[in-house]
Amino acid sequence: MDRANDLIGKVFKSSITGEEYGVFRLVSANRPSAYSYIKFGKPVLSDGYGNFVTVSRKGEILFWDHETDEVVTIATSWNEFRGGCTEPEEVELRPGQLISAWIDPEFAKEMNIDAPSDGWTKKQT
C-alpha cells in the first residue's frame, strides 16, 4: 500500500465498528501458521499484539484478530483508512488508578527495568 510507513505509530477509529485499532507497526516477516492470504488478504500493518490490518481483494481494509482468527471490515478503502489515521491520544492516569501492568521480562532486562520474573506488577489490595 502506498505510504504504509507514514501510518506507523498511528491509530484508526472505524466508523463501521466504532472501535479504535492500532498503534500500528510494520508487519514482520514472521506470520502465524494460521494466517491465510487467501482468506484474510495481504497484511500491511500490525498492532504489535499479533493482529494485522489487511487489504481484501475488493480493496476493503480488514482487521484480522489472531486470537479468534476472524476478520472485520474497518474501512471501505485504503484512502478512507489512511485519511482516518491519527496520533493516539495521551492517557493520563491518576494516582491509584492503575491496578496491574505487564511488561515483557526480556524487554525489562534489556531496558534495565526492575520487574517480576513473570512480568506482572499488581497493586496491593
pLDDT tens per residue, range 3-42: 788 899 999 999 999 999 989 998 876 777 777 787 888 8
Amino acid at residue number 48: G
**Rounded Cα gap, residues 107 and 115, in angstroms:** 10
111: in domain: no
Strand 85-86 with 70-75, pairing: unpaired
Q: 77 lies in which domain range? A: 4-86
69: in domain: yes
61: in domain: yes
38 vs 72 pLDDT, higher one: 72
32: in domain: yes
Sequence-distant (6+) residues with CB within 8 A of 13 are 19, 20, 21, 84, 86
11: in domain: yes
What does pLDDT average to over the chain? 86
Q: What is the mean pLDDT of residues 63-86?
A: 93
Q: What is the mean pLDDT of residues 92-112?
A: 83
- Using DSSP's 3-state secondary structure scheme, residue 23 falls into coil
Domain count, the chain: 1
104: in domain: no
66: in domain: yes
CB atoms within 10 A of CB 89: 8
pTM of the model: 0.71
Q: What is the mean pLDDT of residues 53-57?
A: 91
45: in domain: yes
